[in-house]
Structure 1
Amino acid sequence: MEPPLLESQRASLDEKTFGTDDDARLVKRQSVELFSTENPLKLAGGQEIGPIRVAYEMYGTLSPAKDNAFFICHALTGDAHAAGRYNLEDRKPGWWDEFIGPGRGIDTDRFCVICANVLGGCQGTTGPSCIDPKTGEPYGLNFPFITIADIVHVHKELVSYLGIKKLAGAIGGSLGGMQVLEWIAQDPDAIENAIVLASAANLSAQGIAFNAVGRRAIYADPQFHNGGYYDRAEEVSVQSDHPPNAPQSTVSKTGKGPRFGLALARMIAHITYLSESSIEKKFGRRLQNSEQLAFDLMRETEFQIESYLHYQGEQFVERFDANSYLYLTKAMDYFDLAESYHGLNNALGNTSARTLVASYTTDWLFPTAQSREIVSALILAGKHASFCELESPYGHDAFLVEVQQLTELVRAFLNS
């Protein structure tokens, strides 16, 4: 049985803005400039940055009391486009489309859902590919070092800008789950319901190792040019609604840059997102375009799994910036909730949030033991904590793939 809606929430139902049919699920990316040159964001590493442009999307209607906002924290290579389509001709909807909407896991009849591109990203929020207002050139590797705490500071500023005093909920998987954990540690009373999926209070040595190899692939690409690969003469804005002089994200028409290195980094990372059973079931040792082995060293896509990984790499370089990949993977490496707050109990001991932590049986990048560590710290601190290990053959990607079981879990948690 679902809990009754607040009057403020009920009032919002008269103007539904996000439905179930495609024509009722059209969305528009919005953006706002936060902080400024005079009032910059002070970063954990000691540097400052401002202004910061933040790209975000909203699904559903914010109640008059602004007490029904639910924040989506995206993962490493995600963005603000979590649901819906920009137009009916779009081939694919947002990355969590099946999970967000009326009657879905995050119910837009109850909640106004917000998703923002992270600081350091490359999809509308200020990052390395944006123009540095001090120089008129893309930041490149002159972009300041950022941490998960810095990313959360920006999200909190966005929430404040929208007039929201407290979030009804926040949810995230992987890097997104780290953001949720940092949020409830940094601001213990800011969130009513915190949901952490396939994540951890710090990245394991194994995770750091894979990130290091991915970054090395980018550094070693001859087209990396120490991060200065942006072709100013050919660049185009990926954000059309910037005011004059605002920092803008850019992509290159020429296709230059460390494309090979970034594709290789994606291929390496994608292996960690899968499980042995899912790879064996989907590909096994099957050949791609032949029934016999070619005995040819130069044939790079002889097996189906090779072809699949090459495809993932090729698709990734069309939508992601190599410098953003460097900065965000390093932010994951640095994340250590216990170290930052002098113990995990101290980090989570003051939160008033009801917390749900979920792991997946075949996720070896963020194994269940790390999720249990979070839950144990919450319980020892006397906090409301729920935990579930979900069965799935899909490895770390399960929180994006197994939408139906996640919907049932989240719905039960929010309705309890």
Structure 2
Amino acid sequence: MIPRQADRPWPLVPPRRADFDEPLELLCGARLGPYTLAYEEYGPAWAKAERAILICHGLTATAHAAGRHHPADPKPGWWDLAIGPGKAIDTDKYYVLCSNVLGGFGGSTGPGSIDPATGRPFGLRLPPLTVADMVAAQVRLADRLGVERFHCVIGGCMGGFQALEWLAAHPQRLESAIVIGSAARVSAHTLALWEVIREAIRRDPGFNGGDYYDGPAPASGMSLGSMFGMMIWMSKEVMERRFGLRTIDGGPPRISLEPQFAIQEFFQKIGQGGSGGVDPNSLIYLTKAMDFFDLSRGRDDLAQAFAGGRAKALLVSYRSDWRYPPAASEQLRQAMAQAGLEASHVELQSDFGHGAFIYDAHGVGRVMADFLAELARRGPQT
């Protein structure tokens, strides 16, 4: 069962950065360097040796996974519901690391970073990045921080892609993985959805070919992207349950060109909410990285991606997640089992759809806590 959440408050969490002078060889053939990774650490340093957990963030998140940087911060980190003293990922027991991915907007080298060759932001001149590149950078960070092997690598959505890449490319560096709401590759449908969001950004007059850092960002493009992104997160069934044909004022709809229905008002507010601090160029780079992700590419089959690994894996899916449905996680479980990994798959129900692991963390928290407790009972695996 999930541990009882502790009542004592979190200490303030300082943001950290690691600078790397040695260039990173990218999958596209380019070299990136020097580069920076932003990261945060939680829990006791003594747990690094056998109880280190890596949290891989999703598309629009950063390294700020839990706690607060300042007492006046209005909100804690994006997964504070799951990480902390007495929570599912218990920082009384585990050393927890979360780093901002390459290409991100949270302090790691990305399109908004200064290109040392020009003294100006990279913009779209940053080389294209892949999930493999992100994970290769995380491996270097783990080396820098003295983490030889992770007890568990955990991620949802794009973070799940990273966890899968760890299993496939660096199986000796982790004991287990929890992959939430993810898949072995994106679907053609998702490829099309990402392209629509990118095109909304590119067609904004303020985009200026990605060179907007000296002026206003492409706000209208990001507004449309945010509205379309919510359609990706929420399924048709969830929208029907939450809104149906309920009107804004509760009465019968008026024949008018103005928004009449509650769901229309909801989406208007999403569009007016701004970018949430997301750099539009970063959104382009990270969705492109997800486009390229395909564990079976260059291999005979999906099982071959996990050949030679010995990690224990937990796949978690949501019945309301139409982007990465339970069938995608079950495909992964079967491929892992075929490769000799001990893998299990748990289906959960939540009205939050693809975002359930963040916004409805209690259900997945119980599952993760049970999984980690079972690992602890077994002891370190060699």
- TM-score, normalised by the number of residues in structure 2: 0.93
State the match for 1:25 in structure 2. 11
Give, as a single letter, the amino acid of the residue that structure 2 aligns with 1:21. R
Matched, 1:279 2:239: yes
Question: Aligned partners of 1:290 and 1:107: how far apart in 2?
Answer: 44
Contact 2:219 2:274 in 1 (8 A): no
Q: Which moved more, 1:314-323 or 1:141-150?
A: 314-323
Q: Which moved more, 1:398-407 or 1:74-83?
A: 398-407
Question: Aligned partners of 1:410 and 1:295: how far apart in 2?
Answer: 49
Identity %: 41
State the match for 2:314 in structure 1. 356
Q: Which moved more, 1:140-149 or 1:83-92?
A: 83-92
Give, as a single letter, the amino acid of the residue that structure 2 aligns with 1:288. I
Deviation of the 1:98 alpha carbon: 1.2
Contact 2:45 2:95 in 1 (8 A): yes
Question: Aligned partners of 2:238 and 2:231: how far apart in 1?
Answer: 11
Question: Aligned partners of 1:196 and 1:179: how far apart in 2?
Answer: 9
Contact 1:359 1:367 in 2 (8 A): yes
Question: Aligned partners of 1:110 and 1:186: how far apart in 2?
Answer: 27
Matched, 1:366 2:340: no
Question: Aligned partners of 1:400 and 1:43: how far apart in 2?
Answer: 30
State the match for 1:226 in structure 2. 209
State the match for 1:87 in structure 2. 70
Q: Which runs of 4+ in 1 moved over 4 A?
A: none
Q: Which runs of 5+ in 1 are unaligned?
A: 3-17, 232-253
Question: Aligned partners of 1:390 and 1:163: how far apart in 2?
Answer: 35
* Superposed CA offset, 1:3-55 (max 9, x none): xxxxxxxxxxxxxxx97533x33211111102x2xx31111011111111111
Matched, 1:346 2:282: no
State the match for 2:123 in structure 1. 140
Tell me: CA distance 1:134–1:321, structure 2 relative to 1, closer, same or farther (3 Å). Answer: same
Matched, 1:401 2:356: no
Deviation of the 1:294 alpha carbon: 4.9
Matched, 1:183 2:143: no
DSSP-derived class of the 1:98 partner: coil
Q: Which runs of 5+ in 2 are unaligned?
A: 375-382
Question: Aligned partners of 2:291 and 2:268: how far apart in 1?
Answer: 26
Aligned pairs (5 A) from 1:11-410 = 20-22=7-9, 24-34=10-20, 36=21, 39-63=22-46, 66-231=49-214, 256-288=216-248, 291=251, 293-297=253-257, 299=258, 301-410=259-368
* Superposed CA offset, 1:145-180 (max 9, x none): 000000101111111110110011110001000000
Q: Which moved more, 1:384-393 or 1:271-280?
A: 271-280
User: Aligned-residue CA RMSD in angstroms?
Assistant: 1.9
State the match for 2:378 in structure 1. none
Question: Aligned partners of 2:236 and 2:60: how far apart in 1?
Answer: 22
DSSP-derived class of the 2:19 partner: strand
- Number of residue pairs the alignment of both structures matches: 372
Deviation of the 1:229 alpha carbon: 1.0
DSSP-derived class of the 1:196 partner: strand
Deviation of the 1:309 alpha carbon: 2.2
Q: Which moved more, 1:330-339 or 1:285-294?
A: 285-294
Question: Aligned partners of 1:355 and 1:280: how far apart in 2?
Answer: 34
Deviation of the 1:282 alpha carbon: 2.4
- TM-score, normalised by the number of residues in structure 1: 0.85
DSSP-derived class of the 1:339 partner: coil
DSSP-derived class of the 1:405 partner: helix
Tell me: CA distance 1:383–1:159, structure 2 relative to 1, closer, same or farther (3 Å). Answer: same
Deviation of the 1:342 alpha carbon: 4.2
Contact 1:19 1:25 in 2 (8 A): no
Question: Aligned partners of 2:201 and 2:348: how far apart in 1?
Answer: 34
Question: Aligned partners of 1:227 and 1:309: how far apart in 2?
Answer: 26
Question: Aligned partners of 2:119 and 2:254: how far apart in 1?
Answer: 52
